[in-house]
Amino acid sequence: MALFGLFNKNRNDVSQMSFWGHIDALRGHLFRSVVVVVIFAVILFCFPEFLFDTVLFGPLKDDFLTYRAFCKLGNMLNVGDDLCFGHYTFKLQSLGLADQFTSQMWIAFIGGLMLAAPYILFEVWKFIKPALKEKEKRASTGFIISSSFLFISGILFSYFIIVPLTVNFLGNYKVSAMVENNFTMDSYISTVTTLSLATGIVFELPVIVYFLSRFGLMTPEFMRKYRKHAVVVILIVAAVVTPSPDVTSQMLVAFPLYILYEASIFVSKYVVKKKAASAAL
């Protein structure tokens, strides 16, 4: 009995060490991820002119790439100047004493987080890799690549399409000619960062559907059934962020979102078929 108790005690000690070993490994992955985010953030913080004038305030300039492309597209489609926009008369203001400094820190951190996102996913993969089988390792590698690609694509789509359209609509919107539009810098920054991060997450829809389908919470039949509802929601979103009631500009926003939805249906169908094939074996 004493030997049995000693054996159990040693086994419990090994389990306990194993648990704390995992915690220590997780701490290492988190620490390296934070370090990479901080490095990117510090680099961006040291270049405020590039960070603000070139990147953040780029959609406020008349010669921004999106405005020139939209105007050329409007001329090609013979719709006149309906797609020529981007001329702003409002000004951004900083009302707090420390607002500009804290805004620079915040934007540098957000930029560092976005740039470090692929590496953070890589660290997550390294942490769970030892517990995965060979097939799962290959699948997880594809998950990191696809998730990073979709997230970055969402941010770029937001920056070059959604943000300019939204800023144009809200920046030029007036309830009365007696009201002058002057916005705080924090308001503009909040709009840009929220739209960018939200769109990056929305572009992860195929990945989210993949996991929901694996857990049986989503099926391609369900997504096909509510396809019309999804189209209505997509068109409403496109109508809100576009600068005019012109159908062309709305489709430029709605079409990529609809493609994402259709791709998610394909992903769900693939997962369901794979689960059915595995269950049949």
In the structure encoding, which two tokens stand for residue 76, read together? 């090609």
Q: In total, how many domains does the chain have?
A: 1
Rounded Cα–Cα distance for residues 266 and 50 (Å): 40
Rounded Cα–Cα distance for residues 55 and 38 (Å): 19
Domain ranges, residue 231: 204-281
Rounded Cα–Cα distance for residues 198 and 68 (Å): 25
* Tokens 């953070």 sit on residue: 120
The answer to whether position 47 is within a domain reads: no
pTM, two decimals, is 0.78
pLDDT tens digits in sequence order for the chain, 281 residues long: 444 443 344 444 434 446 667 677 778 889 999 999 999 999 999 999 999 999 999 999 888 998 888 888 878 877 667 678 877 878 899 888 899 999 999 999 999 998 998 898 888 877 777 766 666 666 667 777 888 899 899 999 999 988 888 888 888 878 888 888 889 999 999 989 888 888 888 898 998 898 888 888 889 999 999 999 999 988 887 777 665 556 766 787 888 889 999 999 999 998 888 877 777 76
In the structure encoding, which two tokens stand for residue 41, read together? 């953030």
The answer to whether position 245 is within a domain reads: yes
pLDDT at site 251: 81
The answer to whether position 83 is within a domain reads: no
pLDDT at site 7: 37
How many other C-beta atoms lie within 10 A of the C-beta of residue 278?
8
Give the alpha-carbon dihedral of 26, 31, 32, 33, to 10 degrees.
Answer: 90
Say if CB 154 and CB 199 are below 8 A apart.
yes
The answer to whether position 114 is within a domain reads: no
Rounded Cα–Cα distance for residues 261 and 224 (Å): 10
The answer to whether position 229 is within a domain reads: yes
Rounded Cα–Cα distance for residues 175 and 157 (Å): 29
The answer to whether position 219 is within a domain reads: yes
Smallest Cα–Cα separation from 220: which of 276, 180, 166? 276
What percentage of the chain's residues is helix, strand, coil (to nearest 5)? Answer: 80, 0, 20
The answer to whether position 273 is within a domain reads: yes
Rounded Cα–Cα distance for residues 257 and 239 (Å): 13
Rounded Cα–Cα distance for residues 96 and 78 (Å): 46
pLDDT at site 31: 92
The answer to whether position 77 is within a domain reads: no
Rounded Cα–Cα distance for residues 75 and 228 (Å): 32
